[in-house]
Amino acid sequence: MQEVYHKQEKGVLLKIKMESDSRPPPYYENYAYQPENVASSRHGGGYTYPSYMSPYYTPSVPHYIPRVSTYHSTPVPTVVQPKSSSTKCTPKIRKCVCLCLAISILLIGAGIGAFLIWYFVTDSCSGSKIRCGTTGICVTPSEWCDGIRNCPNGEDENRCVRLFGPEFLLEVYSSESKDWYPVCYDDWNDQHGKTACEDMGYNSNTYVSSQAVPFMDASKGFMKLNLSAGHIDLYKKLYNSNWCSSIRLVSLRCIDCGKSTKRLKSRNRIVGGTSASLGDWPWQVSLQVYGTHLCGGSIITPEWIVTAAHCVDGTYSAPHYWNVFAGILRQPEMIYSKGHRVEKVIPHPNYDSSSKTNDIALMKLQSPLIFDEFIRPVCLPNPGMMFQPGQQCWISGWGALRQGGNTSKVLNAAVVPLIDPDICNDKYIYNGHILPTMICAGYLKGKVDSCQGDSGGPLVTYRKSLWWLVGDTSWGTGCATQYRPGVYGNVTVFTEWIYRNMQANRR
């Protein structure tokens, strides 16, 4: 099937190269909602450009529509009142003025001092950095579990836990061997499972189970429990071993993710999609500012949402702007819901607004979501999982149903296959600008695609009876444009970054 897929795509590429490429430069609309009256008709081929002047970009460099102020107030002339000649500066007045100034300076100084204490002591690890215990020293996620002790007490190398592959195999990093090892099921129990989940950033109340699964290859070795170690941290109880008497490994489920009421059947092949039903995409959320839908997002825990970094870049980077709505299909119904306030916004520290690499961000909610049939998390793709070209995925969101149109009142979804990055990077498509942090999905002939207002929303696939988050909606040329498929953040390369930030910000 894969060989046939490649042949078909190569045939399409030959057709592209034979045609004269007279399209205008790329124009990206997968960002927020832009009202229809902002754009005027484009020349040729049905394209439309915004009515305001935008900075010049080379034809192959991705960019977004800049925000435009919709209201400009006219300044009111200031009338200068003439000073009264009768005003006199007596010693008593001077004394009062000096006293007021002294009090003001003291108050300002106290405020600055309080801020500095808060910044350097209470919340010294800004952005996505991770605090080393109570020392106040911060390390970046890339320095966590890399075999080098960056924290004074080695905390960055002590709680290195992850889940591997679609079977959720528990693996622990050995700073001595500088490698990841599966955990033997000998003497394992649910309490150890809850501790391991907490080490990854989950709350123990979402814990599901620890199960034993057989292993095929024992050549690498294991991590085993040392029961005589007493009541100490889990990572101190684990040691390297070449023997596992149960011949089984720990499969750990920290959260009941990837469940949906959707029936897997093809529908008419958001642009070119169909309206969703309650429970189809229970992880989908609407991210709103001042009651207006701007972006989508995906639930991964009761407190954490995955979205795109460009959604929170610039003006709306502060958490107080945002309100999150879950379990509601129609935008008008969200007016009568309070939604959930955001406590923290964490964009990827290496997000580049020019190339759109690392276009992913996390939002932590002030209060946890209550899961039910219509509000559920999607599964994060574990390290070791690979998604091949041609894999069927689904996109969902309240984005525009056509290029330049209004956002949809109803949640829509569509099927899109993954596209080989070599094909997407062809000079007649995206000309080498698809980086490893990105995934292409859609149809080279267009007609089905994400659009403005879908940004940050999920690209999911169904595997091993679960739904997995493959990507977040990032950018693309127009909407459903021929030879310009949608581009998504590659969540498979961000999973460990997500876990590190969940761990660092766990209550």
Active site residues: 310, 359, 455
SS (H, E, C) 115-172: HHHHHHHHCCCCCCCEECCCCCCEECHHHCCCCCCCCCCCHHHHCCEEEECCCCEEEE
Planar angle of CA 161, 162, 167, nearest 5 degrees:
140
Q: β-pairing, 48-50 with 130-131?
A: unpaired
Place of tokens 């310009």: 484
Residue 388 tokens, joined: 């091949």
Handedness of CA 354, 356, 357, 358 (dihedral sign): positive
Distant-in-sequence, close-in-space partners of 97: CB < 8 Å, separation ≥ 6: none
Which of 500, 251, 260, 212 is closest to 379 using CA atoms?
260
Write the DSSP string, 445-507: T-S-B--TT-TT-EEEEEETTEEEEEEEEEE-BBTTBTTB-EEEEEGGGTHHHHHHHHHHT--
248 in helix, strand or coil? strand
Residue 83 tokens, joined: 């000073």
Residue 198 tokens, joined: 């907490």
Q: What is the dihedral of CA 478, 484, 485, 491, to 10 degrees?
A: -90
The one-letter amino acid at 98: C
Residue 288 near residue 332 (C-beta atoms within 8 A): no
Q: What are phi and psi of 412, to 5 degrees?
A: -120, 160
Using a CB cutoff of 8 Å and minimum separation of 24, what contacts does 190-198 make?
A: 192/225, 192/234, 193/250, 193/252, 195/234, 196/161, 196/170, 196/234, 196/252, 196/254, 197/252, 197/254, 197/255, 198/506
Any idea what DSSP says for residue 312? S
